[in-house]
Amino acid sequence: MNSPWPLGRCFFSAKFPWLNLPPLGAVQRDLPFRGTYLFAFLQERLFPEGCTLCGKILESGAGAFYGLCAPCRKNLESLMPEPDTGRRCSLCGRPLISERETCLSCRNGPSRSFDRALSLFPYAGTYRNLLRAYKFGRRLSLGNFFAKQLLRGYKMLFPATSGQPECWIPVPPRPGKIKKTGWDQIDYLARLLERHGADPPVRRCLKRLSSENQKELNRERRRSNLKGRITVKEGPRFFQANFFKEGPGKAGTAEGSLQGKAYPVPKTALVFDDVYTTGSTLDACAEALKNRGAERVYGLCLFYD
Ligand SMILES: [Zn+2]
Ligand SMILES: [Zn+2]
């Protein structure tokens, strides 16, 4: 028997279909977990928002949880790449139109620091509206939908148990972004992954130094804008007073104590972001990690532009 709650599946789900509890064993590393549908359902009943795309009233727990009705979800997921179907660029993961292994921009562009990336949906039409509703309209339930897609993308990037990354790393926001907009949509996805027990864990070990907004720049300038502007965070102050151990500086000197120890950098990491445009953000993240000892860095983005 799959479900640890047989009665919940047989009796209650027949009587209250909106409960629709997923069997626990099947969702160890997936969204959603027990109870979250019910909470979302009650929230939707109290503060109805409707489906983000078609505006239909959300009557099921799953619909309320994802902020999308079942037909809209099915429609969106139908364009999701499947592991064995649809040819994708072996480097950036965008769909291929030619018979080559890599896409035109990867062949003609500068070499990449990341090893491989995958982007899921085209950043156009409905998908664009979806991201805008999440990012600017703060439709937080869409975060659940995106987190679920990230988990699906993860399984596509790493179908085998070997070679899996040690952690998820969110692309860090620009300094002052949270102060200005009140939140960071990537970090919110990281929090959702954590809340649902992401395995491997999430590590926020990157930070972005001040740079111009990538969206306002052309393709050439995007790359130079981020050059060296993403770095690995230093460790907490507590660990920086490293007088007696060998550190990056000379032990026992002012240099050693101030420079301190950086956070341990994972050997293999998966960096995730919302939109893949030129790949320069992922590239800057991968470069920063590899400069500090990472061996393989993968990228996962929700959309490709
Ligand atoms: Zn809908
Ligand atoms: Zn490519």
Query: Could you tell me if 16 and 142 lie in one domain?
Result: no
Closest ligand (CA of 105): 2
Estimate to the nearest angstrom the gap between the alpha carbon of 301 and the chain centroid. 7
137 Cβ partners below 8 Å, 6+ apart? Answer: none
Query: Could you tell me if 58 and 116 lie in one domain?
Result: no
Q: Which domain holds residue 52?
A: 12-78
pLDDT in tens, 183-215: 899 999 999 988 877 789 999 999 998 877 767
Neighbours of 20 (CB within 10 A): 17
Q: How far is the CA of 216 from the centre of ligand 1 (A)?
A: 32
189 Cβ partners below 8 Å, 6+ apart? Answer: 143, 146, 147, 150, 170, 272
Query: Could you tell me if 112 and 211 lie in one domain?
Result: yes
Assess whether pLDDT exceeds 60 at residue 107.
yes
Nearest to 73 by CA among 48, 53, 56: 53
Query: Could you tell me if 45 and 96 lie in one domain?
Result: no
Neighbours of 292 (CB within 10 A): 15
Report d(CA 305, CA 285) in Å as an integer: 19
Q: How far is the CA of 68 from the centre of ligand 1 (A)?
A: 5
Query: Could you tell me if 145 and 203 lie in one domain?
Result: yes
Structure tokens at 300: 């996962």
Query: Could you tell me if 72 and 101 lie in one domain?
Result: no
pLDDT at 299: 95
In a domain, 248, yes or no: no
Q: How far is the CA of 159 from the centre of ligand 2 (A)?
A: 20
Query: Could you tell me if 58 and 199 lie in one domain?
Result: no
Entry pTM = 0.79
Query: Could you tell me if 106 and 54 lie in one domain?
Result: no
Instruction: Please name every residue paired with 168 in a beta bridge, in sequence order, or none if there are none.
Output: 202, 270
Mean pLDDT computed over every residue of the chain:
78
273 Cβ partners below 8 Å, 6+ apart? Answer: 170, 171, 186, 281, 282, 299, 300, 301, 302
Share of the chain above pLDDT 90, in %: 31
Query: Could you tell me if 287 and 174 lie in one domain?
Result: yes
pLDDT in tens, 27-36: 334 455 556 7
In a domain, 133, yes or no: yes
Estimate to the nearest angstrom the gap between the alpha carbon of 99 and the chain centroid. 29
Output 253 or 106, whichever has higher pLDDT.
Answer: 106
Query: Could you tell me if 101 and 74 lie in one domain?
Result: no
Closest ligand (CA of 53): 1
In a domain, 278, yes or no: yes
Output 90 or 270, whichever has higher pLDDT.
Answer: 270
Q: How many domains does the chain have?
A: 2
Over residues 50-64, the mean pLDDT reads: 91
CA angle at 256 for the pair 253 and 259, rounded to the nearest 5°: 140
Final residue of a domain: which of 60, 78, 96? Answer: 78
Query: Could you tell me if 98 and 21 lie in one domain?
Result: no
pLDDT at 253: 40
pLDDT at 262: 56
CATH number of the CATH domain containing 165: 3.40.50
Share of the chain above pLDDT 70, in %: 74
Final residue of a domain: which of 21, 53, 78? Answer: 78
Final residue of a domain: which of 20, 44, 78? Answer: 78
Output 248 or 229, whichever has higher pLDDT.
Answer: 229
pLDDT at 296: 95
Query: Could you tell me if 182 and 54 lie in one domain?
Result: no
Confidence of residue 171 (pLDDT cuts 50, 70, 90): very high
Q: How far is the CA of 73 from the centre of ligand 1 (A)?
A: 7
